[in-house]
Amino acid sequence: TLAERLRGRRSSAAAVLVYHRVDAAAHDPFGQAVKPETFERQLGMLGQFGNVIPASDLVERLAAGRPVGGSIAVTFDDGYADNLETAVPIAARLGVPITVFVTTQTVLTGTPFWWDALPTALTGEGSPGAPNAADAVTIEQWHLALRRETASRRAALLEEITTRAGYRRRTD
């Protein structure tokens, strides 16, 4: 659990909690989402394990050679809409600073992340509505294979998968 990991770290170490999504949706084949109530519970207990600070403060302390022991920073990768709509209000209510790193390509182009497009390409289903268990295994196998590809090759393969399956790829 998170509490066990925080409790077990060295006293001179800082912790950076890296989240992707805060969403209760059932469609999460790669386990990137944490439910809002779980996120709230996790943030609520952080003070027991250290001093929660903005990620920028942690970086400044490290750069200046100042001690960081007991520091905890909370970050989000990718910049999903639920970071703003769900995570920020929870963190603000609890007084916990968070840092969100937004991947601008998806914002500027409206193109979903490839790992979000993959389940739709393979099953024809979009969120909500999770694929069945057999499809989940196939999705995981494709996910592992596509991770190794370049961005352009990945996009071409997703398009080919979608076309061969007879599905129209969602871009919203």
Does residue 170 carry a pLDDT above 60? no
Segment 133-149, tens digit of pLDDT: 446 667 777 777 887 88
Whole-angstrom distance, CA of residue 166 vs CA of residue 15: 45
Provide φ and ψ at 76, rounded to 5°.
-125, 130
Segment 60-100, tens digit of pLDDT: 999 999 999 889 999 999 888 899 999 999 999 999 999 99
CA angle 138, 113, 140 (to 5 degrees): 15
pTM, two decimal places: 0.70
19: Cα within 13 Å, side-chain hemisphere: 29
Does residue 26 carry a pLDDT above 70? no
97: left (phi over 0), alpha (psi -120 to 50) or beta: beta
